[in-house]
Amino acid sequence: MSVLPRDARSAILEDQQRCLAEELALARKQLRLTRLRLLESDRRVQDLLASNSWQATEIARRLGRHFPALARAGVRLGKLATWAALGELSARARSRRLTRHRLAQAPEPPEPAPPSPELTAASLAPRPPTPGERTILIADASIPCPDRHAGARTTAAFIAAFLEAGWSVVFAPFDRLDAGDYTRALSAQGVLVVDGRTIGGIGAWLAAHGPALDHVMLMRPRPAIALLQLVLERTDARISYYGHDLHFARLRAEAALARDIDLGEIAERELAIERQIWRTVDVILYPSATEAAAVAAMVPGVTATAVMAMAFDQFPAVRAAAKTATLLFVGNFAHAPNQDAAIWFAGTVFPRVRAVRGDARFMIAGSGPTPPVLALAGDGIEVTGYLTDEALQRCYEEARVAVVPLRFGAGVKGKVVEALRNGVPVVTTHVGAEGIPGLADIVPVHDEPAAMAAAILRLMADDAAWGAQAEAEIAYARAHFSRAALRGALLGALEPQAAEVGAALRVP
């Protein structure tokens, strides 16, 4: 039996590898086209279900399920009557209604600022990759402002993780706004920013440079659903979605608490949008395993993974218990869950604490305080407004207890993680503890005002209990929220699930 020379075997194996690569590329293209069709079908179904005609015929449809023959006859007669009575006018009116509904559900990005002539899509190419380097486009609602929003801290941490891993990063803010110093800080890190100054915006940029991308990460439902079709059409890159939290779940909880039917309907529309995204992308990321499991249960077959959202370089040593009686609540108070929490705590929990500790202070620290939050100031309550990172750090150092009294929300709460990292004993609710495994083992978790007030008073009176909880919190944060842990989890989640083509075709 003759044996082929080594060179001939190598040539055959190389041909097999090339054929497999071509077949995989063709399969990915077909999959992408199928996803585009599914996306458009989802939109049409949502238009139909939200239409006035569908809602008006609900009773008729119920009767039709019990009397199918009568239903078929009714449909025929209805068609004839409609065509005779309204004709083309009805069709045009319905088309206009559906068009308005579609625009309301998936609004186009706002008009960009007047472009600078030098910022064309062609001039804003990603830098040429070095061997083995990968290029990612990240699209979020706006340029990350890490000192103002917890979600922006997560986006900034992801960008830093990719840069540290040697990736080339492009960032596109959905609002297209140049955020001044924040944009310049991003550019100084080596990130290419494609905002409203770019002629043609992200669409023109993708048309010119989409083939150079290895990965696209979309963030939050509205930006993601608006950009998804554009991304599918103009690049073959793998697509991931990071939701920051389950938006529909947060809205559902708020609607239930407020008994708001309209808000409940908004939550269901948000769920429909999130489902479209989950079914279309390659990888789904959420801050907690609970959220990832919920997505996998609702849409079987998708790849949903948990990636902890916060990362820190350093963790302080445990310090002596603060001698103040300051309770600290940190957040962006333009966010509905934070506003509700501040008002609820100030009205139900803080008076119980103040009745025992007359020197107690409740500090509401963070950007975007709304008029109802500003109105809380006085009688031991301080509303600081925006604070720099340095000023916020001083607040943590002076605080005796960090309170996170959230009554609704979703995902891992950045304010809880920051307090853990700073070693300030936390008292929170079950909503505040969501997504952080084992948190209830080291911090008090209570939903009732009396129990929460009792836990706070215990930490204010007992230095030994204060020190033990502070030590446990710092140890937990060091184990779960280091930069290395975030980078490993993030990059591991984005790796292709299938083996590389030709990995098994090696020349002996």
Lowest mean pLDDT segment, chosen from 45-49, 96-100, 196-200, 260-264 = 96-100
Q: Is 459 domain-assigned? A: yes
Q: Amino acid identity, residue 205? A: W
Residues 384 and 264 in one domain: no
Is the predicted pLDDT of residue 358 greater than 60, yes or no? yes
Residues 297 and 368 in one domain: no
- 474, 417, 434, 162: which is closest to 288 by C-alpha? 434
State the CB neighbour count (10 A cutoff) for residue 400: 21
pLDDT of residue 360: 92
**Tell me, what CATH number does 371's domain have?**
3.40.50.2000
**Burial class, 65, CB count within 10 angstroms (exposed 0-12 / middle 13-18 / buried 19+):** exposed
CA dihedral for 183, 186, 192, 193, sign (positive or negative): negative
pLDDT of residue 116: 47
Q: Which residue's entry shows tokens 């063709």?
A: 26
pLDDT of residue 430: 93
pLDDT of residue 117: 45
Q: What is the mean pLDDT of residues 130-147?
A: 86
Q: Is residue 241 within a helix (H) or strand (E), and if so which, with residue range?
A: strand 238-242
Domain range for 272: 135-306
Q: What percent of the chain has pLDDT over 90?
A: 34
**Burial class, 233, CB count within 10 angstroms (exposed 0-12 / middle 13-18 / buried 19+):** middle
Rounded CA-CA distance 218/72 in Å is 45
Residues 171 and 279 in one domain: yes
Residues 409 and 374 in one domain: yes
pLDDT of residue 18: 72
Choose one of 278, 306, 334: the last residue of a domain.
306
Is the predicted pLDDT of residue 192 greater than 80, yes or no? yes
Higher pLDDT, 238 or 86: 238
**Tell me, what CATH number does 221's domain have?**
3.40.50.11930
pLDDT of residue 263: 83
Rounded CA-CA distance 375/333 in Å is 13
Q: Which residue's entry shows tokens 């080291």?
A: 442
Lookup: tokens for 27: 């399969």
Residues 152 and 267 in one domain: yes
Is the predicted pLDDT of residue 14 greater than 60, yes or no? yes
Residues 337 and 445 in one domain: yes
Residues 146 and 281 in one domain: yes
Q: What is the mean pLDDT of residues 134-150?
A: 88
- 407, 404, 414, 313: which is closest to 364 by C-alpha? 404
What DSSP assignment string belongs to 328-363? EEES-TTSHHHHHHHHHIIIIIHHHHHHH-TT-EEE
Q: Is 117 domain-assigned? A: no
pLDDT of residue 406: 92
Q: Is 347 domain-assigned? A: yes
Is the predicted pLDDT of residue 289 greater than 80, yes or no? yes
Query: In residues, how long is the chain?
Result: 508
Is the predicted pLDDT of residue 114 greater than 70, yes or no? no
- Hey, which of 289-293, 330-334, 460-464 has the most confident mean pLDDT? 460-464
Q: What is the mean pLDDT of residues 361-366?
A: 93
Residue 504: pLDDT band with limits 50, 70, 90: very low
Lowest mean pLDDT segment, chosen from 17-21, 127-131, 175-179, 219-223 = 127-131
Q: Is 62 domain-assigned? A: no
Q: Is 67 domain-assigned? A: no
Is the predicted pLDDT of residue 165 greater than 90, yes or no? no
pLDDT of residue 88: 47
Q: What is the mean pLDDT of residues 273-283?
A: 91
Q: What is the mean pLDDT of residues 14-43?
A: 70
Is the predicted pLDDT of residue 342 greater than 50, yes or no? yes
Across the chain, what does the average pLDDT equal?
81
Residues 260 and 365 in one domain: no
Residues 353 and 436 in one domain: yes
Backbone angles phi, psi at 497, to 5 degrees: -75, -30
State the CB neighbour count (10 A cutoff) for residue 248: 22
- 145, 474, 478: which is closest to 311 by C-alpha? 478
- Cα–Cα distances (Å) from 459 to 27, 399, 456, 471, in that order, read 60, 12, 5, 14
Is the predicted pLDDT of residue 239 greater than 90, yes or no? yes
Residues 224 and 371 in one domain: no
Rounded to 5°, angle at Cα 152 from 149 and 154: 120
- For residue range 53-112, list pLDDT tens digits in order: 666 666 666 666 666 677 667 766 765 565 555 554 455 455 555 545 544 554 444 444
Residues 336 and 298 in one domain: no
Choose one of 274, 306, 338: the last residue of a domain.
306
User: Structural domain tally of the chain?
Assistant: 2
Residues 295 and 345 in one domain: no
Q: What is the mean pLDDT of residues 146-154?
A: 80
Angle between helices 6-50 and 88-105 (to 10 degrees): 120
